[in-house]
Chain A
Amino acid sequence: MSEHVHRDDFGARLGMWLFLVTEIVLFGGLFIGYSYMRYKYPVDFHHGGAELNATLGVINTVVLLTSSLTVVLAIVAIQRAEKKRAMAFLSTTLVLGVTFLIIKSFEWAAKFHHGLYPSAPHLATLPPGEQVFFGLYFTMTGLHGLHVIAGLSVLSVMLWWVATDRIRPDRYIHLENSGLYWHLVDVIWIFLLPLFYLAA
């Protein structure tokens, strides 16, 4: 019992934020590339945006925003020692994250069906600006999708740790840091919605 355990929750959060900074710069570079290309091909980007399903984009935005809320509520629940409620919030987050991916897969499947996928023969017949638009669309939503999968994996572990009391009211930094990651995934999507789905 008297064994000294070193803990530095602020250091852990700072480390997580520094990692998130690299993520912000990664996506930031892509956003800057997008801006230049949209400036160069405004009409083609308009046409490209018209091909996307804005309704699905908006639904997925609501899904991710809500999943962000449930993560942060799970942290409040843990702080208040409401374990069952925390697990319910985290489970809801996981369900919402999977829902996001399912909607995304339907959307991508429809694009593939219309001959719109990276290196597709049909894509090569489109104007250069539209090719760039779909290149950026698949790169950025694809990279974002990988982040959703990573976030869901980490949050699944968090749910397990809450269930097994490894995350407790006096020790929940892992849950906080996982939540930070999930919120950043949400923030990236907040930018992807108007850049692609509302571009038309």
Chain B
Amino acid sequence: MVLLALAVLPAVLPSYQVSVVTQVLIFSVLAMSIDILAGFAGRTSLGHGAIFGVSSYVAIYWSSTLGGDIWIGIALGILAATALAGVFAALAIRTSGVYFLLLTLALGMIVWGVCLRWTAVTGGENGLRGVGRPAFIADHASFYYAVLIIVAPLTWLMWRLVHSPFGLTLRGIRDSESRMRSLGYNVPLHLFVAFVLSGFFAGVAGGLYVLFNNFVSPSTVQLSQSVSALLMAITGGVGTLLGSFVGAAAIIVLENAVSAYTARWPSVLGIAFVLIMIFAPEGVVGRARLLLARRRSRSSKPDHSGG
């Protein structure tokens, strides 16, 4: 039903809103890629903005600076993002909790530093402009459908991934690493594979973003990218996967609404972060689930008057 609603969207919405929904779809993929690690492996990453951005950089560098084919560029971008995720993973999987967060943050910021300073390749602060979308997806509606056609199966893939035996193992690692180790699971290997897969999905989001935005600059890889994507995952509800769509929609709509009135979006993002951390760390979908579960347990035990 949701899919049906999404399918008729361009017919009923003006093109600006269609492009906002397209953006939501793209960033949902990034948020879900973070949720795979944060929600199912218990590893909160602040380096995914960098992985996402490197995919965009490589795709634009290939298609615009080198004049290559855009699809090959995007494929190379996704490959580069996956490889970068492999490097991040190799360094970070031995840590957990705050250390993992710090490491991915530091690694992501090194990528940002390189993108900012390596002017010869990245264009420095000016960034790189792409070659534009291929003609058949040039207008808003057809690009929207193209993104939808890619995002739908990707979402299904991620859903399958976190509900597969592999995903269950990740959840086991999240809940108790030592238990999984003594059961004979190769914990580092599972985390490594999860990180690399997550990087692949973030890379795909980066590739779609190239088509969407046609421009990449250090602000694409900077910390606020990782932060807002993580905020989307958290707002939706960490560990719900599909909550990322709700989170991405909430953050992007908020950003568009705020930007219409003021240039103080970073402040609003910061305040949103602080408020969510204090009042609703389980996110919208997580909160809804909690309430549902509470109601269900209450209706099954009518004499229970707590609550």
Bound pair: A and B? no
* B interface residues (Cβ-Cβ under 8 A, vs A): none
